[in-house]
């Protein structure tokens, strides 16, 4: 089968590999859609593991079952998540499923979603695969995993109906946060970025205001929000961290959602953040099976219109073009790249 072997952001090669065979409790998934994630282009995070086949935002069709696999049938359409928890460890039992060692280190697709086929391990079959509703395309269903991450983040941040939400960075993660915040009943939702086409997309996803991320942003927030700053500030680009700390209201929350550059640090004094403010700083990582289930339901209901975010649909042969677009989104007006190893005509709708 064909796979895209990652060596660096500028060196992703189309190579041949023997298709995996499913073992007991496993299944073989024909990959119909696989999204390029922002983490896929974090070279510092990948450099000690290359070469490897990336791709974890996957939807496809079951084409082979391993011995004893009974949960799904040949021909079923599934969205799958690569990381799943054990459900029995210290972290899982206290609800921190994405801190589980099994999830962090022990589960993955073979070889990765940028391939024609993947072997889904038994534990993923058990708790990390979800049937795609008939009316959803594979491309839409591939958003299950990234939306699950966003959903878990907003849950950890304690988003409540009516709250004012500021999303800093309107790339793919920020746009999903905007759409989800609207779906979950947020009040005023504001997006801020420096790229015009992203701000236009933010409005399309439900932001009431889409502003240029400049130093006067706190004052502009107060002007449109009855004199208050944001109850929840979601950072989707590390460059906006200093601005985020100026835009959160007393008693509010700052959610650090995006990854950051290697060695990045918080650029603020402790007293400036915490003294007499009761500001909460929190973070999030990945999504658990519950988050995946809820995310797919939200997509199926049309509550978060993920199809609006797809700007590029490419073949395996074009994957280098896809990585270039994700690395230079302004040049390519890129929001979301979907790789379709068997072509867009295979979407099934």
Q: Report the distance separating Cα 137 and Cα 262, nearest Å.
A: 36
- Residue 299, CA distances (Å) to 10, 133, 175 in order: 32, 10, 14
Q: Report the distance separating Cα 60 and Cα 192, nearest Å.
A: 35
CATH 3.90.180.10 spans which residues of the chain? 2-148+287-347
pLDDT of 150 higher than 90: yes
Residue 264 is predicted with a pLDDT of 81
Tokens of 295: 């995310």
Contact by Cβ (8 Å): 178, 206? yes
158-283: CATH, from 3.40.50.720, 3.40.50.1980, 3.40.220.10, 3.40.50.970:
3.40.50.720
Tokens of 205: 């996803």
DSSP assignment of 175-186: HHHHHHHHHTT-
What residues form DSSP beta bridges with 11? 8
CATH 3.40.50.720 spans which residues of the chain? 158-283
Residue 346 is predicted with a pLDDT of 47
pLDDT of 66 higher than 80: yes
Mean model confidence pLDDT for the chain: 95
Give the mean pLDDT of 105-123.
Answer: 95
- Per CATH, the homologous superfamily of domain 2-148+287-347 is Medium-chain alcohol dehydrogenases, catalytic domain (3.90.180.10)
Answer yes or no: pTM beyond 0.85: yes
- pLDDT category of residue 101 using cuts at 50, 70 and 90: very high
- Whether omega before 35 lies within 30 degrees of 0, making that bond cis, reads no
- Residue 20 sits at φ, ψ, to 5 deg, of -70, 160
């Amino acid at each position: 089968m064909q796979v895209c072997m990652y060596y660096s952001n500028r060196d992703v090669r189309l190579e041949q590999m023997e298709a995996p065979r499913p073992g007991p409790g496993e299944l073989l998934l024909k990959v119909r859609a696989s999204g390029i994630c922002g983490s896929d282009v974090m070279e510092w995070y990948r450099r000690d593991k290359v070469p490897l086949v990336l791709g974890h935002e996957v939807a496809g069709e079951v084409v082979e079952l391993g011995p004893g696999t009974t949960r799904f049938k040949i021909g079923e359409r599934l969205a799958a998540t690569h990381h799943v928890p054990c459900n029995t460890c210290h972290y899982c039992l206290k609800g921190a499923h994405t801190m589980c060692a099994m999830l962090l280190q022990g589960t993955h697709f073979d070889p990765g979603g940028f391939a024609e086929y993947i072997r889904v391990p038994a534990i993923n079959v058990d708790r990390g695969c979800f049937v795609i509703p008939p009316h959803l395309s594979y491309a839409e269903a591939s958003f299950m995993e990234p939306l699950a991450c966003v959903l878990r983040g907003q849950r950890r941040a304690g988003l409540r109906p009516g709250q004012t939400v500021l999303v800093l960075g309107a790339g793919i993660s920020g746009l999903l946060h905007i759409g989800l915040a609207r779906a979950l009943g947020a009040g005023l939702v504001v997006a801020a970025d420096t790229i015009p086409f992203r701000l236009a997309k933010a409005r399309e996803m439900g932001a009431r205001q889409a502003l240029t991320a400049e130093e006067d942003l706190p004052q502009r927030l107060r002007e449109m929000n009855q004199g208050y700053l944001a109850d929840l500030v979601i950072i989707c680009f590390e460059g906006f961290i200093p601005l985020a700390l100026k835009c959160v209201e007393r008693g509010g929350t700052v959610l650090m959602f995006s990854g950051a550059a290697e060695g990045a640090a918080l650029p603020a004094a402790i007293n400036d953040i915490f003294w007499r403010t009761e500001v909460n700083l929190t973070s999030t990582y990945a999504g658990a099976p519950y988050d995946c289930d809820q995310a797919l339901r939200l997509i199926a209901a049309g509550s978060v219109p993920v199809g609006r975010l797809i700007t590029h649909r490419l073949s395996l042969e074009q994957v280098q073009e896809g990585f270039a677009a994700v690395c230079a989104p302004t040049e390519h007006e890129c929001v979301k790249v979907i790789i379709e190893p068997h072509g867009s005509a295979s979407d099934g709708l």
